[in-house]
Structure 1
Amino acid sequence: MTLTLRFDDGTVRIVSDGDEGASTLAELAADCESLERDERSGGYRAPAYRYADLRAALDDRGVAYRDRVLDTEPLSLSTRYQLREYQQDALTAWHDAGDRGVVELPTGAGKTVLAIAAMAELGVPTLVVVPTIDLLEQWRRELEAEFDVPIGQFGGGKQRREAITVSTYDSAYLKADDVGGAFGFVVFDEVHHLGGEGYRGIARLLAAPARLGLTATFERPDGAHEAIVDLIGPRAYSLDPDDLAGDHLAEYEIRRIEVDLTSGEREAYEEAQETFVDYLKRSGISMNRGSDYRELVKRSGRDPEAREALLAKQRARRIVREADRKVDELGRLLDRHRDDRVIVFTASTDLVYRLSERYLLPAITNETGAAERREVLDRFRSGEYSRVVTANVLDEGVDVPDANVAVLLAGSGSEREFTQRLGRILRPTEDGPGALLYEVVSEETAEERVAERRR
């Protein structure tokens, strides 16, 4: 009896050359929900990401088989990095989980170093998947400096495959079907992105048995992290900023500053809130779940009152996020921290430009070109600029220079967003000051509840 495993179009096919093997396959299929009959070949097939599970099932039964799934050759890799104790603990936990799963570490804790160490230990062709061009370039530079092998790239205008390749999520989605058997190890940086319905196809189509997800914030409000567990494995190791503060990350403090609305802003805010709340009472929508907001948006397409309520909510939110006294308070904070490196976070592009003009701050928004963004960050890194203002662009996926003060003028209730923004100031500097994060909140408004929720 001989069984053979092959990769074909995003699936692993198992075929037998005899009746005994066919019987074994039928028994295996009865125990493995992912294995289904393949009428074309007369054998069975399973999604590519179940490859490791199928091998394990065959090994447990003591069944001999020929493995033709991966078209790879071993690599000789070494790294100069010396892992910190917690990084080694994380790597060991990942190995103990069968070389599968998610490692959750704060921004600045060295997740890239951990992945490079894993690559050196496994010594197999590896695909690294990242969410942005900035991270793609950052990873490529790091890998080129560390390993004496060509580094391939999918994305950023290049489509070149090498034994070690870096790809954006978008390019990996387009290429996964073609390269599903080319890599034995896949690293998903900012792995929470994999929970998006479209991106899940990347992990499904790759046969790579070794899978590592990296993130500072694994759980998603929509629960899609459960899909990630199925695709690459559970959370194998986790630390938060408090676990590393003082030893490997900067000590940090969070200060909340409350400012009142002006009389004109207060009147406009109360009027908008009343319109919004009154509609909720009449419609029976509680806004206790994300689906409630989606229902309101859906109704606004056909119900003029629902549309007015939605617009009122947006007006109220804009008033508290862009309050005049927040802008004044920022001026005082910038003056207080004139010798520090400061990142100012807002929730709207309009406010970024308003602050940039008033305080002569370099601005980065989603409208900022890649070359200009690099120039601003390079000048921030060199010290030519000591402060920068942004909306959501620097939350993740961009190599941000060290800063020690962050000012949150506005944001969502997302714990992920808050953790990512805090992480931007946690990289330790030798004999440097501790990190300080200011939350500036409009008093006696719904923004107070938003601030509590994200904390």
Structure 2
Amino acid sequence: MCPPTAVFGVTPTVEEAAIELRYEDGTVRLEGLGSELASTLRKRVPELEADPRSGGRRVPALRYSSLRAALALEDADVRDRVLELDTFSELRSAYELRAYQDEALSAWLETDRWADTDGNLPVDRAPGGVLELPTGSGKTVIALKAIERLATPTLVVVPTIDLLEQWQRELEREFDREIGRFGGGEQRLEPITVSTYDSAYLKADSVGDRFGLVVFDEVHHLGGEGYREIARLLAAPARLGLTATFERPDGAHETIEEIVGPLVYRLSPDELAGEHLAPYDVKRLEVSLTPAERKEYDRNQEVFADYLARSNIQFTSGSDYQELVKRSGSDPEAREALLARQRAREITYGSEAKVDALEEILDGHRGERIIVFTAFNDLAYDVSERFLIPTITHQTGAAERREILERFREGTYSRIATSNVLDEGVDVPDANVAVVLSGSGSEREFTQRLGRILRPKEDGGRALLYEVVASETAEERTSRRRRE
């Protein structure tokens, strides 16, 4: 373990300091900053702007770290009143880190968001960066140790209520203190607080000065246009992102690197399988559409492909899809092409042969715990009805979902079906077989679903993931690209 990181906070300054920093509604306001120094600072902090209302200057709270560094390098006298941090009694987590967890934490602690471009560290260290590790590898444990090491008020941001409750329980158990909560009908601030992304989006500007560290679980969500504002409105100098799948098809992970920090540590499932995670195999089953399905699929694909050809849309990236959606609002042909693509996907994802293949898989794994993943609610319900399997979708109530998962955990249920809901953000009981009947084909989705079966098995057995793909369809091409 690397030596303890310096605890950052308000820098001691003389009372007659010429420049005063304050937090205000998601920004840092500067008073007493002369025009000459402002011009110099703007070279390092381009977002520094004049504020006609106050006669001072402002930067987004996100830039508090770089502003501090720039002021220190200019040897400016500063009275820093940005962060309003509660004092902590000593935090102590009982977890002992595995070697790779220790490496990940050390890699993060060795970064510094306050360093200038030459690596100078004019003020206290403030780590910032993203850790990418497989589901089941203990990312939460690393975060707990990060909170312990920095011993500063911390906001943990998560995508779902399920994860909010899991984090709250874990933090209360480890640190034996009351944990705040934004979400699920509660708005309670404590030195350590857990929030959903939705609640953090609404609260960030009012609590942006109350935390020295922010942890973004499933940090890839932060790439969304609205959620990015959470990171911009918080002044928290230290930032930790956790994910099993950092890169986004739309390239928004580059924005995440700017507002949280770069990817500083990465491990793939293959690197941990066999010792820390279950060894696993992937079986890819190709099935054929029925003649009727093929006819309908080809007809819809032709409508879709013809429009792309006429419109010169390549459809090789997420931006191409967004362009088609935008056009569909005013162009009837674009709308028909979009609907045709959707109908073709539904035919592919819900083909009769896929359901027949699932029947064979279920028969071949009697007594084993199985999760069946689909892309649409209708298919999940069809699977549920045909095979008498409990199903969890976005329409499943919280109480019913908890009951299904608990019965799956205790063995009353040996198999469940779901439409995307269990990809992430839910503590899924151990399973050793996953069946992907349909999905987006993205590497992120595949990795998330694989992660649901990778926890070490009591008998030391191997995990097995089936990918069922309709041959001679766009799904087959997408699956091939992901593997490549």
TM-score by length of 2: 0.89
Match of 1:221 among 249, 261, 264: 249
Q: Which amino acid aligns with 1:7?
A: Y
Alpha-carbon distance between aligned partners in 2 of 1:28 and 1:311, rounded to the nearest angstrom: 52
Tell me how far 1:77 sits from its aligned partner.
Answer: 0.6
State yes or no: 1:108 paired with 2:122: no
State yes or no: 1:293 paired with 2:307: no
Tell me how far 1:60 sits from its aligned partner.
Answer: 2.5
Task: Show the 5 A alignment for 1:36-435.
Answer: 36-75=49-88, 76-98=90-112, 99-435=127-463
1:43-80 Cα distance to aligned partner (Å, 9 max, x none): 33211111111112222233332221111133221110
| Unpaired runs of at least 5, structure 2 | 1-15, 113-126
Alpha-carbon distance between aligned partners in 2 of 1:280 and 1:91, rounded to the nearest angstrom: 47
1:196-236 Cα distance to aligned partner (Å, 9 max, x none): 11111111111110110111111111111111111111111
Q: Is the 8 A contact 1:4 1:67 kept in 2?
A: yes
Shift in CA distance, 433/6, structure 1 to aligned 2, threshold 3 Å: same
Alignment identity in percent?
Answer: 65
Q: Is the 8 A contact 1:22 1:43 kept in 2?
A: no
Alpha-carbon distance between aligned partners in 1 of 2:379 and 2:320, rounded to the nearest angstrom: 28
Q: Is the 8 A contact 1:134 1:398 kept in 2?
A: yes
Q: Which amino acid aligns with 1:5?
A: L
Tell me how far 1:238 sits from its aligned partner.
Answer: 1.0
Q: Which amino acid aligns with 2:50?
A: R
Shift in CA distance, 306/196, structure 1 to aligned 2, threshold 3 Å: closer
Alpha-carbon distance between aligned partners in 2 of 1:301 and 1:40, rounded to the nearest angstrom: 40
Tell me how far 1:177 sits from its aligned partner.
Answer: 1.0
Alpha-carbon distance between aligned partners in 2 of 1:298 and 1:43, rounded to the nearest angstrom: 41
Alpha-carbon distance between aligned partners in 2 of 1:58 and 1:294, rounded to the nearest angstrom: 42
1:252-286 Cα distance to aligned partner (Å, 9 max, x none): 11110011122222222223223333333344333
Q: Is the 8 A contact 2:208 2:236 kept in 1?
A: yes
Alpha-carbon distance between aligned partners in 2 of 1:206 and 1:428, rounded to the nearest angstrom: 38
Q: Corresponding residue for 2:119?
A: none
Q: Which amino acid aligns with 2:392?
A: I
Q: Is the 8 A contact 1:16 1:22 kept in 2?
A: no
Q: Corresponding residue for 2:466?
A: 438
Tell me how far 1:30 sits from its aligned partner.
Answer: 4.6
Aligned length in residues = 452
State which drifts further: 121-130 or 256-265.
Answer: 256-265
Q: Corresponding residue for 2:123?
A: none
1:362-420 Cα distance to aligned partner (Å, 9 max, x none): 10011100100000000011111111001111111111111111000111122111111
Q: Which amino acid aligns with 1:211?
A: R
Tell me how far 1:35 sits from its aligned partner.
Answer: 1.8
Q: Corresponding residue for 2:8?
A: none
Shift in CA distance, 287/43, structure 1 to aligned 2, threshold 3 Å: closer
Q: Corresponding residue for 1:35?
A: 48
Q: Is the 8 A contact 2:135 2:244 kept in 1?
A: yes
Tell me how far 1:191 sits from its aligned partner.
Answer: 0.7
Alpha-carbon distance between aligned partners in 1 of 2:324 and 2:238, rounded to the nearest angstrom: 43
Q: Corresponding residue for 1:8?
A: 24
| Unpaired runs of at least 5, structure 1 | none
Shift in CA distance, 314/428, structure 1 to aligned 2, threshold 3 Å: same
State which drifts further: 8-17 or 147-156.
Answer: 8-17
Alpha-carbon distance between aligned partners in 1 of 2:240 and 2:213, rounded to the nearest angstrom: 8
Q: Which amino acid aligns with 2:111?
A: A
TM-score by length of 1: 0.95
State which drifts further: 67-76 or 25-34.
Answer: 25-34
Q: Is the 8 A contact 2:135 2:451 kept in 1?
A: yes
Q: Is the 8 A contact 2:307 2:333 kept in 1?
A: yes
State which drifts further: 313-322 or 404-413.
Answer: 313-322
Tell me how far 1:148 sits from its aligned partner.
Answer: 1.9
Alpha-carbon distance between aligned partners in 2 of 1:124 and 1:344, rounded to the nearest angstrom: 42
Alpha-carbon distance between aligned partners in 2 of 1:380 and 1:190, rounded to the nearest angstrom: 24
Q: Which amino acid aligns with 1:411?
A: G
Q: Which amino acid aligns with 1:8?
A: E
Alpha-carbon distance between aligned partners in 1 of 2:327 and 2:47, rounded to the nearest angstrom: 40
Alpha-carbon distance between aligned partners in 2 of 1:316 and 1:306, rounded to the nearest angstrom: 15
Shift in CA distance, 59/389, structure 1 to aligned 2, threshold 3 Å: same
Q: Which amino acid aligns with 1:69?
A: V
Q: Is the 8 A contact 2:44 2:66 kept in 1?
A: no
Tell me how far 1:41 sits from its aligned partner.
Answer: 4.1
Shift in CA distance, 36/285, structure 1 to aligned 2, threshold 3 Å: closer
Alpha-carbon distance between aligned partners in 1 of 2:231 and 2:145, rounded to the nearest angstrom: 22
Q: Is the 8 A contact 1:144 1:150 kept in 2?
A: yes
Query: Aligned to 1:394, what secondary structure does the other structure show?
Result: helix
